[in-house]
Structure 1
């Protein structure tokens, strides 16, 4: 046997026990091998059967262990499925509770919509009332301004007419006094010419009778009374004009306040209109959801079943 055919040392002691047989088997000629008795081959077959039975036993053990692993996996899968079923059951319970509260939410939204409609109607009536008050205030302001203009025009005309009348009365009094003076002078000249013995000082001085003095006093009193009446009328018109001016200022303030309130109401109306629109949209969404949804049927309660 060459060095290449030398056997390596046996890895274990059990295999090393067969090493002499292996050396003999490798070094024996073919005739010796063919002349071996049948018991040797039968022993080999018996050993093969033993090996085969051992392999079958190992395979059977593996097959017995495989169902055990499958059962464990099945139990784990069952437990996982039961957990998912319980989670689904919880979700379904939550959905049922939310479904039961949808009616209450719908009624609440309808009540809010009705309240918003009533509030909007009230605000519309208030806006209409404020607009009417504003129109009335504008009309009163125009009327008051017209009255003030008429009063100022009447006052100017009255003052002009009074000045003309006073000027005419003054002219008449001056003319009357001049006529009377001329008449007295002419009468005194005539009397002086007729008497001739009187002094020039007495003839040059005018003579006033008691009747002339009374008449002049009466005219003076009448002029004072007319002046007092004119002054009273002027004061009354001035007070009336001041009252009209104050009334005009009050109306302007009321008009500004009404405009401010109108702006506030317009803003409130816009906000309520937006809230009403959002409520209507929400109600429509809920109506679509309720019409498209079906009544929920709760499944049976989960029951845990373990494989035996």
Structure 2
């Protein structure tokens, strides 16, 4: 099986479009089409349905996607393994919750970049659910997510425990129970965010249906809107302590099982630990143990 054909197939499957795949691979569209047809002929099966709206994976194509990801990843690992293993170089893709990236990682990343400037470090922020899928698909070398994570193909390391607090405007009266804010608009990150899931579960356990949810893509926007009195949110106290001290918002402690969330670092069990990832893990452990 030709590796180049697999790469074209994998890219086309991810992009969901032959034209987008051609643009990403810097190929002519006809070249992409021809290579997919070559692979279909080699495997003697149809990989994509062609229709007016574009293309859709066939059942055979859906099966091949996971194998193609693994094969291409193993090839990349082989290249890394036979290179100079003494010097961390090459790309390193790490995912993180936006809140963790904002408060917990700047010092760690600054030191890592200074110590290993030859590593092409990439930090991708987003919700836990998205990072789980990206690590499983070999798109990320590892990720900081909300734990615990139970998956047979992943290994996790506890990083830090975060205390969650209800965040309101500075003028909001004290919150004794979640019932005190049941009529307020909830300001949350997009679906897949662990803090949003915690807040929903907390309300569900109390038999409360949220009046209204408003999604925002950044921590700064949520905090700005909370401070202005638009609604409330559930966030780690470490993330909002500075704004609380400045009198921009007010934090209210919560009790019980929802008060603590553990941030963990996950990676695939079967993935090669490259020199770049190995040194990052060492720096991460030293950094958070010190904290």
Q: Same fold (TM over 0.5)?
A: no
User: Higher relative contact order by CA 8 Å / sep ≥ 6: 1 or 2?
Assistant: 1
Query: How would you bin the TM-score normalised by the shorter chain?
Result: under 0.3
Larger Rg: 1
TM-score (structure 1 length as normaliser): 0.13
If each structure's helix is expressed as a fraction of its own residues, which one has the higher value? 1
